[in-house]
């Protein structure tokens, strides 16, 4: 049972991080566009080129496949004391980067 809970925690954390990144990117783009519109309305800036559309938010399933088995093994090694937290974080970053 603990293995299933760890897997659920990893999946939930991955989805949470992806959602936060997508929301942050969308908020930044909306803020930049709103500021540009305010400046144009005030006559401070002439529209030179259209703003780039916001980058699409990639859903966790559409992203590069993540090796959950490898992440689970890394977590087990961390829990067993074989890996330090720094080593675990570095290896996890490599796995998530693809």
Rounded to whole angstroms, how far apart are CA atoms 97 and 13? 15
Indicate whether 51 and 20 sit together in one domain. Answer: yes
Tell me, yes or no, if the pTM score tops 0.95.
no
Indicate whether 40 and 75 sit together in one domain. Answer: no
Half-sphere exposure of 57 (CA within 13 A, CB side): 16
Residue 38's pLDDT is: 76
How would you class 71 by CB atoms within 10 Å of its CB: exposed for 0-12, middle for 13-18, buried for 19 or more? buried
Indicate whether 5 and 45 sit together in one domain. Answer: yes
68-80 vs 85-97: helix axis angle to the nearest 10?
A: 180
Indicate whether 68 and 51 sit together in one domain. Answer: no
* Per-residue pLDDT tens listing for the chain (98 residues): 566 667 666 767 776 666 667 666 676 777 777 777 777 777 655 555 566 667 666 555 555 577 888 989 999 999 999 989 999 999 999 888 87
Indicate whether 41 and 11 sit together in one domain. Answer: yes
Domain holding 46, by residue range, is 1-57
Indicate whether 34 and 81 sit together in one domain. Answer: no
46 contact partners, CB below 8 Å, separation of at least 6: 40
Number of domains in the chain: 2
Indicate whether 81 and 46 sit together in one domain. Answer: no
């Amino acid at each position: 049972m603990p293995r299933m809970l760890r897997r659920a925690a990893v999946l939930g954390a991955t989805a949470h991080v992806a959602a936060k990144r997508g929301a942050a990117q969308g908020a930044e783009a909306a803020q930049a566009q709103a500021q540009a519109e305010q400046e144009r309305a005030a006559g401070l800036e002439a529209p030179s080129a259209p703003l780039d559309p916001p980058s699409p938010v990639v859903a966790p399933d559409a992203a590069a496949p993540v090796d959950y088995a490898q992440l689970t093994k890394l977590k087990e090694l961390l829990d067993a004391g074989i890996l330090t937290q720094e080593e675990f974080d570095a290896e996890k970053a490599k796995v998530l980067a693809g």
